[in-house]
Protein backbone atom coordinates (compact mmCIF):
# COMPACT_ATOMS: atom_id res chain seq x y z
CA UNK A 1 0.00 0.00 0.00
CA UNK A 2 2.89 2.35 0.55
CA UNK A 3 6.29 3.07 -0.82
CA UNK A 4 8.85 5.56 0.27
CA UNK A 5 10.37 7.92 -2.23
CA UNK A 6 13.84 9.31 -1.97
CA UNK A 7 14.93 6.61 0.41
CA UNK A 8 18.40 5.25 0.87
CA UNK A 9 19.84 4.26 -2.52
CA UNK A 10 21.73 1.33 -1.06
CA UNK A 11 19.26 -0.29 1.27
CA UNK A 12 20.91 -2.78 3.51
CA UNK A 13 19.27 -6.20 3.46
CA UNK A 14 16.55 -6.73 6.03
CA UNK A 15 17.24 -9.35 8.56
CA UNK A 16 14.65 -11.32 10.37
CA UNK A 17 13.66 -9.14 13.27
CA UNK A 18 13.70 -12.00 15.73
CA UNK A 19 17.40 -12.35 15.28
CA UNK A 20 17.83 -8.74 16.25
CA UNK A 21 15.23 -9.10 18.91
CA UNK A 22 17.38 -10.61 21.59
CA UNK A 23 20.93 -11.03 20.48
CA UNK A 24 22.00 -12.87 23.59
CA UNK A 25 18.65 -14.47 24.35
CA UNK A 26 18.71 -18.21 24.92
CA UNK A 27 16.71 -20.54 22.74
CA UNK A 28 13.00 -20.68 23.44
CA UNK A 29 13.24 -23.94 25.34
CA UNK A 30 16.00 -22.77 27.58
CA UNK A 31 14.22 -19.55 28.21
CA UNK A 32 11.17 -21.52 29.30
CA UNK A 33 13.27 -23.57 31.69
CA UNK A 34 14.79 -20.46 33.15
CA UNK A 35 11.34 -19.01 33.51
CA UNK A 36 10.03 -22.09 35.24
CA UNK A 37 13.04 -22.31 37.48
CA UNK A 38 12.67 -18.68 38.32
CA UNK A 39 9.13 -19.15 39.56
CA UNK A 40 10.65 -20.95 42.50
CA UNK A 41 12.78 -17.93 43.28
CA UNK A 42 11.24 -15.41 45.60
CA UNK A 43 10.23 -12.00 44.28
CA UNK A 44 12.62 -9.94 46.39
CA UNK A 45 15.48 -11.84 44.84
CA UNK A 46 14.29 -10.89 41.38
CA UNK A 47 13.79 -7.27 42.31
CA UNK A 48 17.06 -7.25 44.19
CA UNK A 49 19.01 -7.43 40.98
CA UNK A 50 19.54 -11.16 40.64
CA UNK A 51 20.40 -11.83 37.02
CA UNK A 52 17.04 -13.28 36.09
CA UNK A 53 14.42 -11.47 34.04
CA UNK A 54 11.61 -13.33 32.28
CA UNK A 55 10.67 -11.51 29.08
CA UNK A 56 6.84 -11.58 29.54
CA UNK A 57 6.37 -10.94 25.84
CA UNK A 58 8.54 -7.83 25.66
CA UNK A 59 11.78 -7.15 23.83
CA UNK A 60 14.88 -7.50 25.99
CA UNK A 61 16.10 -4.24 24.55
CA UNK A 62 18.55 -3.58 21.74
CA UNK A 63 19.97 -0.49 23.42
CA UNK A 64 21.49 -0.12 26.88
CA UNK A 65 18.57 2.18 27.74
CA UNK A 66 16.12 -0.39 26.39
CA UNK A 67 17.74 -3.11 28.49
CA UNK A 68 17.38 -1.01 31.63
CA UNK A 69 13.74 -0.42 30.81
CA UNK A 70 13.24 -4.10 30.11
CA UNK A 71 14.67 -5.10 33.48
CA UNK A 72 12.34 -2.68 35.23
CA UNK A 73 9.40 -3.98 33.21
CA UNK A 74 10.28 -7.58 33.95
CA UNK A 75 10.73 -6.98 37.66
CA UNK A 76 7.46 -5.07 37.87
CA UNK A 77 5.68 -7.81 35.93
CA UNK A 78 6.97 -10.43 38.35
CA UNK A 79 5.80 -8.33 41.29
CA UNK A 80 2.47 -7.74 39.57
CA UNK A 81 1.97 -11.43 38.85
CA UNK A 82 2.76 -12.37 42.44
CA UNK A 83 0.50 -9.73 43.99
CA UNK A 84 -2.23 -9.96 41.34
CA UNK A 85 -2.05 -13.75 41.47
CA UNK A 86 -2.34 -13.70 45.26
CA UNK A 87 -5.39 -11.43 45.17
CA UNK A 88 -6.94 -13.40 42.30
CA UNK A 89 -6.49 -16.71 44.08
CA UNK A 90 -7.82 -15.19 47.28
CA UNK A 91 -10.98 -14.13 45.43
CA UNK A 92 -11.27 -17.55 43.84
CA UNK A 93 -10.78 -19.29 47.18
CA UNK A 94 -13.37 -17.08 48.87
CA UNK A 95 -15.85 -17.63 46.07
CA UNK A 96 -15.47 -21.42 46.23
CA UNK A 97 -15.13 -21.77 49.98
CA UNK A 98 -18.11 -19.62 50.96
CA UNK A 99 -20.65 -20.67 48.36
CA UNK A 100 -24.11 -20.70 49.92
CA UNK A 101 -24.67 -24.09 51.49
CA UNK A 102 -27.53 -23.40 53.85
CA UNK A 103 -29.93 -20.70 54.91
CA UNK A 104 -28.01 -20.16 58.09
CA UNK A 105 -27.23 -16.51 58.65
CA UNK A 106 -23.45 -15.90 58.54
CA UNK A 107 -21.68 -13.97 61.28
CA UNK A 108 -22.35 -10.28 60.71
CA UNK A 109 -18.84 -8.87 61.22
CA UNK A 110 -18.02 -5.72 59.34
CA UNK A 111 -14.58 -4.52 60.29
CA UNK A 112 -11.22 -5.53 61.68
CA UNK A 113 -8.93 -2.59 62.21
CA UNK A 114 -5.64 -4.59 62.46
CA UNK A 115 -6.31 -6.39 59.17
CA UNK A 116 -7.30 -3.16 57.48
CA UNK A 117 -4.11 -1.47 58.65
CA UNK A 118 -2.13 -4.46 57.40
CA UNK A 119 -3.56 -4.33 53.89
CA UNK A 120 -3.05 -0.60 53.74
CA UNK A 121 0.51 -0.75 55.03
CA UNK A 122 1.86 -3.54 52.84
CA UNK A 123 0.83 -1.85 49.56
CA UNK A 124 2.54 1.34 50.78
CA UNK A 125 5.80 -0.58 51.08
CA UNK A 126 5.36 -2.25 47.68
CA UNK A 127 4.61 1.07 46.02
CA UNK A 128 7.63 2.68 47.70
CA UNK A 129 9.89 -0.08 46.35
CA UNK A 130 8.45 0.15 42.83
CA UNK A 131 8.84 3.90 42.84
CA UNK A 132 12.46 3.62 43.93
CA UNK A 133 13.33 1.24 41.09
CA UNK A 134 11.37 3.41 38.67
CA UNK A 135 13.34 6.53 39.53
CA UNK A 136 16.67 4.69 39.25
CA UNK A 137 15.79 3.34 35.80
CA UNK A 138 14.22 6.56 34.65
CA UNK A 139 17.38 8.51 35.41
CA UNK A 140 19.42 6.05 33.34
CA UNK A 141 17.00 5.99 30.41
CA UNK A 142 16.54 9.72 30.33
CA UNK A 143 20.19 10.71 30.76
CA UNK A 144 21.72 12.47 27.76
CA UNK A 145 25.42 13.20 27.28
CA UNK A 146 26.25 16.84 26.65
CA UNK A 147 26.49 17.13 22.91
CA UNK A 148 28.85 20.08 23.22
CA UNK A 149 31.50 17.70 24.52
CA UNK A 150 31.13 15.51 21.43
CA UNK A 151 33.20 12.80 23.11
CA UNK A 152 31.70 10.48 25.67
CA UNK A 153 33.46 9.21 28.74
CA UNK A 154 34.47 6.07 26.84
CA UNK A 155 36.13 8.13 24.13
CA UNK A 156 33.61 7.37 21.43
CA UNK A 157 32.33 10.29 19.40
CA UNK A 158 28.67 11.08 19.84
CA UNK A 159 26.62 10.60 16.69
CA UNK A 160 24.19 13.45 16.28
CA UNK A 161 20.96 12.75 14.35
CA UNK A 162 18.09 15.12 13.91
CA UNK A 163 14.77 13.33 13.29
CA UNK A 164 11.96 15.34 11.76
CA UNK A 165 8.47 13.84 11.71
CA UNK A 166 5.90 15.18 9.29
CA UNK A 167 2.60 14.26 7.69
CA UNK A 168 3.40 11.57 6.65
CA UNK A 169 6.97 10.47 6.78
CA UNK A 170 10.32 10.92 8.46
CA UNK A 171 13.52 12.80 7.72
CA UNK A 172 16.82 11.81 9.29
CA UNK A 173 19.50 14.49 9.15
CA UNK A 174 23.14 13.87 10.04
CA UNK A 175 24.25 17.51 10.41
CA UNK A 176 27.91 16.71 11.12
CA UNK A 177 28.25 14.78 7.87
CA UNK A 178 25.79 16.74 5.75
CA UNK A 179 23.67 13.66 5.03
CA UNK A 180 19.89 13.55 4.94
CA UNK A 181 17.56 10.60 4.34
CA UNK A 182 13.83 10.99 4.12
CA UNK A 183 10.80 9.07 3.01
CA UNK A 184 7.19 9.96 2.46
CA UNK A 185 4.09 7.81 2.24
CA UNK A 186 2.77 7.30 -1.27
CA UNK A 187 0.67 4.57 -2.76
CA UNK A 188 2.60 1.44 -3.47
CA UNK A 189 3.67 -1.86 -1.96
CA UNK A 190 4.19 -2.11 1.77
CA UNK A 191 7.66 -1.64 3.12
CA UNK A 192 9.42 -0.45 6.23
CA UNK A 193 9.82 3.17 5.13
CA UNK A 194 12.91 5.36 5.31
CA UNK A 195 15.87 3.90 7.11
CA UNK A 196 17.97 5.51 9.79
CA UNK A 197 21.44 3.98 9.67
CA UNK A 198 23.31 4.17 12.97
CA UNK A 199 26.51 2.72 14.38
CA UNK A 200 26.30 0.30 17.24
CA UNK A 201 28.60 0.58 20.26
CA UNK A 202 28.47 4.37 20.16
CA UNK A 203 26.26 6.96 21.77
CA UNK A 204 23.67 8.31 19.35
CA UNK A 205 21.94 11.51 20.32
CA UNK A 206 18.58 11.99 18.64
CA UNK A 207 17.04 15.43 18.41
CA UNK A 208 13.35 14.95 17.67
CA UNK A 209 11.10 17.61 16.17
CA UNK A 210 7.82 17.76 14.28
CA UNK A 211 6.92 19.89 11.31
CA UNK A 212 3.17 19.86 11.74
CA UNK A 213 1.15 17.79 14.22
CA UNK A 214 2.22 15.51 17.07
CA UNK A 215 3.88 12.26 16.02
CA UNK A 216 5.33 9.43 18.07
CA UNK A 217 8.85 8.12 17.50
CA UNK A 218 8.77 4.49 18.57
CA UNK A 219 11.12 1.55 18.02
CA UNK A 220 9.83 -1.59 19.66
CA UNK A 221 13.25 -3.17 20.19
CA UNK A 222 14.55 -0.01 21.86
CA UNK A 223 11.66 -0.19 24.40
CA UNK A 224 11.29 3.51 23.89
CA UNK A 225 8.99 6.11 22.45
CA UNK A 226 8.92 9.87 22.51
CA UNK A 227 6.52 12.40 21.04
CA UNK A 228 7.65 14.68 18.24
CA UNK A 229 5.89 17.85 19.37
CA UNK A 230 5.56 20.97 17.28
CA UNK A 231 7.40 23.78 19.02
CA UNK A 232 9.42 21.48 21.26
CA UNK A 233 12.87 19.95 20.74
CA UNK A 234 13.10 16.55 22.43
CA UNK A 235 16.51 15.00 22.93
CA UNK A 236 17.38 11.47 23.95
CA UNK A 237 20.32 9.08 23.71
CA UNK A 238 20.47 5.61 22.19
CA UNK A 239 23.32 3.19 22.76
CA UNK A 240 22.68 0.35 20.35
CA UNK A 241 24.44 -2.83 21.42
CA UNK A 242 24.39 -5.12 18.39
CA UNK A 243 24.04 -4.88 14.62
CA UNK A 244 20.49 -5.43 13.44
CA UNK A 245 17.35 -4.24 11.77
CA UNK A 246 14.85 -2.55 14.06
CA UNK A 247 11.44 -1.53 12.67
CA UNK A 248 9.81 1.62 14.00
CA UNK A 249 6.54 3.41 13.50
CA UNK A 250 4.60 6.53 14.40
CA UNK A 251 2.47 5.80 17.47
CA UNK A 252 0.45 8.98 17.86
CA UNK A 253 -2.56 9.47 15.60
CA UNK A 254 -1.46 12.15 13.15
CA UNK A 255 -4.07 12.12 10.42
CA UNK A 256 -5.07 10.08 7.40
CA UNK A 257 -1.90 8.03 6.80
CA UNK A 258 -0.90 7.49 10.42
CA UNK A 259 -0.99 3.71 9.87
CA UNK A 260 1.63 3.94 7.11
CA UNK A 261 4.14 6.17 8.84
CA UNK A 262 6.81 3.50 9.19
CA UNK A 263 10.58 3.74 9.42
CA UNK A 264 13.39 1.47 10.43
CA UNK A 265 16.73 1.64 12.16
CA UNK A 266 19.71 -0.26 10.81
CA UNK A 267 22.60 -0.67 13.21
CA UNK A 268 26.01 -1.29 11.59
CA UNK A 269 29.62 -1.17 12.77
CA UNK A 270 31.19 2.29 13.07
CA UNK A 271 33.36 1.53 10.00
CA UNK A 272 30.38 0.50 7.88
CA UNK A 273 28.58 3.57 9.12
CA UNK A 274 31.37 5.86 7.85
CA UNK A 275 31.33 4.08 4.50
CA UNK A 276 27.57 4.47 4.29
CA UNK A 277 27.79 8.20 5.07
CA UNK A 278 30.37 8.70 2.32
CA UNK A 279 28.17 6.81 -0.13
CA UNK A 280 25.21 9.01 0.73
CA UNK A 281 27.24 12.18 0.20
CA UNK A 282 28.49 10.83 -3.13
CA UNK A 283 24.91 10.04 -4.18
CA UNK A 284 23.90 13.56 -3.32
CA UNK A 285 21.67 12.89 -0.34
CA UNK A 286 22.93 15.95 1.45
CA UNK A 287 20.90 18.14 3.72
CA UNK A 288 20.60 21.14 1.46
CA UNK A 289 19.54 19.11 -1.56
CA UNK A 290 16.65 17.40 0.15
CA UNK A 291 13.46 19.32 -0.61
CA UNK A 292 11.41 20.31 2.36
CA UNK A 293 8.13 18.39 2.57
CA UNK A 294 5.11 20.22 1.24
CA UNK A 295 3.54 20.73 4.64
CA UNK A 296 6.70 22.37 5.89
CA UNK A 297 5.83 26.05 5.96
CA UNK A 298 7.97 27.90 8.47
CA UNK A 299 9.51 25.17 10.58
CA UNK A 300 7.86 25.52 13.96
CA UNK A 301 10.97 24.57 15.84
CA UNK A 302 12.62 27.78 14.63
CA UNK A 303 10.96 29.37 17.60
CA UNK A 304 13.32 27.46 19.81
CA UNK A 305 16.89 28.62 19.71
CA UNK A 306 18.34 25.39 18.50
CA UNK A 307 21.90 26.15 19.52
CA UNK A 308 20.83 26.78 23.11
CA UNK A 309 18.74 23.66 23.18
CA UNK A 310 21.60 21.55 21.95
CA UNK A 311 24.25 23.09 24.16
CA UNK A 312 22.22 22.50 27.28
CA UNK A 313 24.04 20.51 29.95
CA UNK A 314 23.24 16.86 30.46
CA UNK A 315 19.51 17.12 30.75
CA UNK A 316 18.01 14.73 33.23
CA UNK A 317 14.43 15.65 32.73
CA UNK A 318 12.43 14.68 35.74
CA UNK A 319 15.24 13.18 37.73
CA UNK A 320 14.93 13.59 41.46
Partner 1 sequence: MTTTIESPDLIEPEEPGGPGAHGHAEGDHEAAHEHHGPHGILNWLTSTDHKVIGKSYMITALVTFFISGVMALVIRAQLADPTSSLVNFQTYNELFTMHGSLMLYLFAGPFAFGGLANYIVPLQVGAPDMAYPRLNALSYWLYLGGASMMTLSFVVAGGAASFGWVAYAPLSNSINSPGTGTDLWLLSLGLTGFSAIFTGVNLVATIFYLRAPGMTMFRVPIFSWNMLVTGILILIAFPVLFGAVVMLFCDRHFGTHIYSVQGGGVPVLWQHLFWFFGHPEVYILALPYFGIVTDIIPVFSRKPLFGYRGMVFATLSIAALSTGVWAHHMFTTGVVLLPFFSLLSYLIAIPTGIKFFNWIGTMWGGQLSFQTPMLFSMGFLFAFLMGGVTGVLLASPPVDFMTHDTYFVVAHFHQVLIGTTVFAGFAGFYFWYPKMFGRMLSERLGKLHFWFLFIGFWVTFVPQYLVGLKGMPRRVADYLSSNGWTGLNQLSTVGAFVIGFSFLFFFANLIQSWRKPVPAGDNPWDGGALEWFTSSPPPHHNFTHLPPIRSERPTWDYNHPEHRKDESHGDKRHREHDQKKETVGANS
Nearer to partner 1 among residue 143 and residue 281 (C-beta): 143
Q: CB of 16: closest distance to partner 1 in angstroms?
A: 9
Q: How far is CA 40 from CA 35, 109, 239, in A?
A: 9, 37, 34
Nearer to partner 1 among residue 44 and residue 88 (C-beta): 88
What angle in degrees, to the nearest 10, is found between the helix axes of 64-97 and 113-142? Answer: 160
Q: CB of 199: closest distance to partner 1 in angstroms?
A: 23
Query: With contact defined as beta carbons under 8 Å apart, do 243 and 198 qualify?
Result: no
Q: How many residues bind partner 1 (CB under 8 A)?
A: 96
Nearer to partner 1 among residue 145 and residue 281 (C-beta): 145
Q: CB of 154: closest distance to partner 1 in angstroms?
A: 23
- Contacts by 145-150 with C-beta closer than 8 Å and gap 24+? 145/203, 145/205, 145/237, 145/314, 146/311, 146/312, 146/313, 146/314, 147/205, 147/235, 147/310, 147/311, 148/310, 148/311
Which residues, 239 to 278, sit near partner 1 by CB under 8 A? Answer: 247, 249-260, 262
Nearer to partner 1 among residue 22 and residue 286 (C-beta): 22
Nearer to partner 1 among residue 55 and residue 156 (C-beta): 55
Candidates 36-44, 124-132, 174-182, 278-286: pick the segment binding partner 1 (CB under 8 A). 124-132
Strand, coil or helix: 172:
strand
> x/- site string to partner 1, residues 8 to 47, per CB under 8 A?
---------x------------------------------
Candidates 41-49, 222-230, 275-283, 286-294: pick the segment binding partner 1 (CB under 8 A). 222-230
Strand, coil or helix: 73:
helix
Which residues, 131 to 170, sit near partner 1 by CB under 8 A? Answer: 131, 134-135, 137-138, 141-142, 167
Which residues, 286 to 315, sit near partner 1 by CB under 8 A? Answer: 298, 300, 303
- d(CA 184, CA 169) in angstroms, rounded, equals 4
Closest CA to 14 of 224, 266, 291: 266
Which residues, 161 to 220, sit near partner 1 by CB under 8 A? Answer: 167, 190, 192, 212-214, 216, 218, 220
Give the list of residues 6+ apart from residue 117 with CB closer than 8 angstroms, or none. none
Nearer to partner 1 among residue 213 and residue 277 (C-beta): 213
Candidates 43-51, 68-76, 171-179, 265-273: pick the segment binding partner 1 (CB under 8 A). 68-76
Query: With contact defined as beta carbons under 8 Å apart, do 188 and 5 qualify?
Result: no
Contact between 318 and partner 1 per CB under 8 A: yes
Strand, coil or helix: 294:
coil
Q: Give phi and psi for 318, each to the nearest 5.
A: 80, 5
Q: How many CB atoms lie within 10 A of CB 121?
A: 10
- d(CA 130, CA 76) in angstroms, rounded, equals 7
Nearer to partner 1 among residue 194 and residue 277 (C-beta): 194
Q: CB of 319: closest distance to partner 1 in angstroms?
A: 7
Amino acid sequence: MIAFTNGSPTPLPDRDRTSADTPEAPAAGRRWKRWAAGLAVAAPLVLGGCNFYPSYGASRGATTQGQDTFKLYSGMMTTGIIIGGFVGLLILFTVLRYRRRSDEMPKQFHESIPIEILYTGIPVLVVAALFLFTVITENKVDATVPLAAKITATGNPVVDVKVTAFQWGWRFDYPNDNVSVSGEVTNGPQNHGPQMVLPYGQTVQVTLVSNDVIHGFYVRDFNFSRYALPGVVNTFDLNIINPGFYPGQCTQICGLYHSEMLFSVRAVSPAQYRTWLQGEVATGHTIKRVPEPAANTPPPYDHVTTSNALAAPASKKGSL
